[in-house]
Amino acid sequence: MSDGAAHRRWMLQIAYLTLGLLVIFVQLLPLTSMPSRWAGPDMFTVLTMVWMLRRPDAVPLVLVAMLGLIADLLFQRPPGLWAAILVGLSDFLRRREEGLRDAPFPVEWGVVALAYVAGSILYRLIQTLFLLPNAPLGLTVTQMIMTIAAYPPSVLALNYLLGLRRAAPGEVDALGHKR
């Protein structure tokens, strides 16, 4: 690996870490004193999914797990549950990245949507199985819809702000590995 590619990879890892912590921090801010009737998108999950389909080599699963665990602890969710599901989703998307590289964006969006819905159902099922309190179903469905709807603007923003694009044909070797 050339020094330029290694430097870019490190910069993308630092950018993911910084943006992940920033998203978690912003979601913790008390912007209103009244409880909301709807749930906003899970932007950390969106950020992770975008990164996994655009530059999967730039984000190690250990970093996803660490940030996911920090988010679980700060959002007072069952420690490690969503982090483990997010690592599973990230690995699933990482394995599909090569096949989705040439697919149109709606196909990519559909794969992300189905993966997120499956992860959310698994999360709710595990909480129910272990008799943990669940959020109302309406809030969970609202969050799923908002998260899926937040994916395209996030892809666009990360594309223009950080240059986070799908790998071009010349950027990979014959086996699909990044150069």
Per-residue model confidence as pLDDT tens digits over 62-109: 999 999 999 999 999 999 999 999 999 999 999 988 888 888 999 999
Domain count, the chain: 1
Does residue 45 lie in a domain region?
A: yes
Structure tokens, 18: 């910084």
pTM of structure:
0.88
Q: Which pLDDT belongs to residue 76?
A: 92
Does the residue 34 lie in any domain?
Answer: no
- 177 domain residue, yes or no: no
Q: Which pLDDT does position 98 carry in this prediction?
A: 85
Whether 14 has a pLDDT exceeding 50, the answer reads yes
The 3-class secondary structure across the chain, one letter per residue, is CCHHHHHHHHHHHHHHHHHHHHHHHHHHCCCCCCCCCCCCCCHHHHHHHHHHHHCHHHCCHHHHHHHHHHHHHHCCCCCCHHHHHHHHHHHHHHHHHHHHCCCCHHHHHHHHHHHHHHHHHHHHHHHHHCCCCCCCHHHHHHHHHHHHHHHHHHHHHHHHHHCCCCCCHHHECCCCCEC
Q: Is residue 105 part of a domain?
A: yes
- Whole-angstrom distance, CA of residue 146 vs CA of residue 159: 20
pLDDT digits (tens, 9 = 90+) for 114-155: 999 999 999 999 999 999 999 899 999 999 999 999 999 999
Domain for residue 35, yes or no?
Answer: no
Q: Is there a domain that residue 64 lies in?
A: yes
Assess if residue 70 is contained within a domain: yes
Question: Is 140 among the domain residues?
Answer: yes
Give the range of the structural domain holding residue 96, as residue numbers without chain letter: 3-27+40-166
